[in-house]
Amino acid sequence: MSRIAIASITALLIVGQARAAEPITLRDMGSFHVGGRLVEISGKPVKEVVFAPGGVPAKVDPNGTYQVEQMYVQYFLPANEKGAYPLLMWHGGGLTGVTYETTPDGREGWLNYFLRKGWAVYNSDAVERGRAGWAQYPDVFKSEPVFLTTANPFERFRIGDGPNSYDPDPAKRKVLPGNQFPVEGYENFVKQNVPRWTTTDDATIAAYIAEIDRVGPSVILFHSQAGSFGFKVAQARPDKVKALIAIEPAGIGDPARADVLKNIPTLIIYGDYIERDSRWPKIRANGIAFADAIKAAGGSVDIVDLPQAGIKGNSHLVMMDKNNLEVAALIQKWLEGKGLTK
């Protein structure tokens, strides 16, 4: 190894240590719930419930008024704010705000990265996910919840090489060649998954609109299922959305109203292995068509296929991949280029 190479590696190690050691200084942190509505449930029998072992039974009348369909938001405000607007992070399906926290193998996620870059970050759990709580079904939600097996995300999120690539024995799993997902943390990722419904989109969008109405003009970074949420909320509040960053959006906005987004700078990022997947070529094509509609109306959409930008091996879970901070730096640079930093 040449001296220059060794010097470069040493410099990288020092930079890495320096970053880990730098404190995060917050002027404030906290949380709130927002949105939702009240519903009435009637005609059911009163139950007697012992809430704690050895506790005293309490009567619980299931009839009455319930709060449903709110969402949860946790915010971190840096002391030295450098983002021109707050940065809202919206997770994908079957997940929560944990998506943007520590990666499954214990590295820093995008929440910390963008906070360290001076963004006021609002990380949230969508309606019926995580700390948002969830409501009775079929009384309130009109479908049953979906649970994923340990194998499902491995084969569907472009970590493994498609169907039957998962095996309970990690040594026997067929990982896509060069994949950046931290497979040694896959068991931890599975623990991040939560049940989800497929009939709650309207409620979810309503709550996200309530969030942006409360926080004010913002940049929204959203992933996967939140593709349709990000674009649709921006169509509902075009004056309050200052930029859209779509990470592998699995859904889109209303194509008939694509022109509403023409003044919102938009970045769409796709990972690797799209072409060999059974579903992602079509999903990506939907996203590209929607971007084309925005551009046809005079809008600005930058599409980055990471492999074409020299960033290879990304799964669907870009923010958890081993090169997650490299992609974050690409996003940060794009935001700076759009004049969205102070």
Binding string, 257-296, against a second copy, x = CB under 8 A? ----------------------x--xx--x----------
CA–CA distance, 231 with 251 (Å, rounded to integer): 9
The single residue among 54, 177, 216, 310 that binds a second copy, judged by CB under 8 A, is 54
Question: Is the Cβ of residue 174 or residue 338 nearer to a second copy in the bound state?
Answer: 174
Which of 65, 170, 178, 309 lies at the binding interface for a second copy (CB under 8 A)? 65
Q: Which of 266, 322, 324, 321 is nearest to 295 (CA)?
A: 266
Residue with tokens 């942006």: 212
27 makes contact with a second copy (CB under 8 A)? yes
Residue 256 near a second copy by CB under 8 A: no
Name residue 125's beta-bridge partners: 72
| Interface pick for a second copy out of 87, 88, 89, 98 (rule CB under 8 A) | 98
Q: In this chain, which of 159, 252, 260, 331 binds a second copy, going by CB under 8 A?
A: 252
Question: Do 241 and 260 touch, CB atoms closer than 8 A?
Answer: no
Closer to a second copy by Cβ: residue 32 or 334:
32
Q: If binding is defined by CB under 8 A, does position 336 make contact with a second copy?
A: no
CB of 285 closer than 8 Å to CB of 249: no
Rounded (10°) CA dihedral 137, 143, 144, 149: -150
Amino acid letter, 209: I
Residue 165 binds to a second copy (criterion: CB under 8 A): no
- Choose the binding region for a second copy from 18-26, 235-243, 266-274, 322-330 (rule: CB under 8 A): 18-26
Q: Which region among 9-17, 126-134, 210-218, 234-242 touches a second copy (by CB under 8 A)?
A: 126-134
Contacts (CB under 8 A) with a second copy, residues 132-151: 133-136, 146-151
Stretch that binds a second copy, among 9-17, 125-133, 258-266, 307-315 (CB under 8 A): 125-133
Least distance from a second copy to the Cβ atom of residue 118, Å: 13
Please return the burial class of 212, using the count of CB atoms within 10 Å of its CB with bins 0-12, 13-18 and 19+.
buried
**Least distance to a second copy, CB of residue 150, Å:** 5
Residue 146 DSSP one-character state: B
Question: Considering beta carbons, is residue 11 or 50 the nearer one to a second copy?
Answer: 50
Give, for 269, the enclosing helix (H) or strand (E): strand 266-270
Q: Is 18 in the site for a second copy (CB under 8 A)?
A: no
Interaction residues for a second copy, span 304-333 (CB under 8 A): none
Count of residues in the chain: 342
Contact between residue 220 and residue 233 where contact means Cβ atoms under 8 Å apart: yes
Site residues for a second copy, window 188-217 (CB under 8 A)?
Answer: 188, 190-195, 198, 201
Is residue 31 a contact point for a second copy (CB under 8 A)? yes
Residue ranges of the alpha helices (H) in 127-240?
151-156, 186-192, 201-215, 226-236
Coil, strand or helix: which one is 49? strand
Phi, psi of 225, rounded to the nearest 5 degrees: -55, -30
Which residues make Cβ contacts (< 8 Å) with residue 96, sequence separation at least 6?
Answer: 125, 126, 129, 130, 131, 192, 194
Q: Which of 13, 15, 17, 28 binds a second copy (CB under 8 A)?
A: 28
Asked if 187 is part of the footprint of a second copy (rule: CB under 8 A), the reply reads yes
Region of 15-23, 209-217, 309-317, 331-339 interacting with a second copy (CB under 8 A): 15-23
The Cα–Cα gap between 155 and 166 comes to 7
Considering beta carbons, is residue 5 or 38 the nearer one to a second copy?
38
Which of these segments, 64-72, 215-223, 259-267, 312-320, binds a second copy (CB under 8 A)?
Answer: 64-72
